[in-house]
Structure 1
Amino acid sequence: MLAGSGYAGNNDADVQSLLAQCKPNNGGWSYCLGYVGGVADMMAMNGVLSPRPALSICVGQTIPTYGAYQQAFINWAEAHPEKWQSHQGFGVIESLRATWPCP
């Protein structure tokens, strides 16, 4: 668990709200894609430059699409309703680390 993942602040910035925006046919879908993709880009670059488990993912030679990153977040969030009140950033980080861990 990441430090601070018990965040209890702005409800519009929690895992549950981001999950709702990530669903198809939702007006927030492009926000979700950009948000998750931006975090994933940063974490993938960290995985290449200086793998640190908390802030890195290791994707290998074939870089996943933003859609794959987004689907990883959706799958993780749906499987972890106990994390829905955590800040969306922590949820995205945890979901990507779970899907593309660094050795």
Structure 2
Amino acid sequence: MIPVLKAAFEREHRHCDERKNVRPIQMIAIGLLAASPSMSAALSTGEAYNACQLAAAQNWERGSSSLCLGLIIGVSGMAMMNCQTARSGAAPSDILSAEGGHSYAATTQAFLNWARDNPQNWEWPAANGVAVALSRTFPCKAIVSP
């Protein structure tokens, strides 16, 4: 990924207040994942783990970073929105909800740690693996009792 673009993503994320609506960049990422279900369904958790490891090792400057970052942004955006709806009285799944306010680096590391520790789930669709990793690492406080 182009360093300027990565900096823009990080800057956008830091300026987000959880009480605000989803940022446009997240909506784009969610839309891209939703628009190509065959691609997202075909990508396994193990393949996403390998792509994210490679992207991190290459300082987010090569081709695999787009895939990893798009997946992380899309799933984390959905998980944050679900957590937000829980605060409004809805009852989303705890597996599909996570607290926001974390950098993309921290969110990616949460996925990498979970995937490394759960190789038995590498055949899952990538979005499922990321969702479970985020919900376990950053549980939604509106769903989970403190």
- Scaled to the shorter chain, the TM-score interval is 0.7 to 0.9
Instruction: Determine which of 99, 104, 114 is the counterpart of 1:66.
Output: 104
Aligned with 1:89: secondary structure?
Answer: helix
Q: Which ranges in structure 1 are unaligned for 5 or more consecutive residues?
A: 1-9
CA distance in 2, matches of 1:74, 1:12: 19
Distance change >3 Å, CA 56–CA 30, structure 1 → 2: same
**Which amino acid is 2:119 matched to?**
P
Contact 2:51–2:67 (8 Å) recurs in 1? yes
Instruction: Determine which of 75, 80, 86 is the counterpart of 1:39.
Output: 75
Contact 2:96–2:132 (8 Å) recurs in 1? no
| Structure with the greater alpha carbon radius of gyration | 2
Aligned with 1:38: secondary structure?
Answer: helix
Alignment of 1:1-103 (within 5 A): 13-23=43-53, 24-25=57-58, 27-50=63-86, 52=92, 53-59=94-100, 63-102=101-140, 103=144
More helix by share: 2
CA distance in 2, matches of 1:99, 1:17: 20
TM-score calculated relative to the size of structure 1: 0.78
Q: Paired residues, what number?
A: 91
Once the two structures are superposed, residues 69-90 of structure 1 have per-residue CA deviations (whole angstroms, 9 ceiling, x without a partner) of: 1111001000001011111111
Instruction: Give the percent of matched residue pairs that are identical in Structure 1 and Structure 2.
Output: 32
Contact 2:42–2:125 (8 Å) recurs in 1? no
Distance change >3 Å, CA 11–CA 58, structure 1 → 2: closer
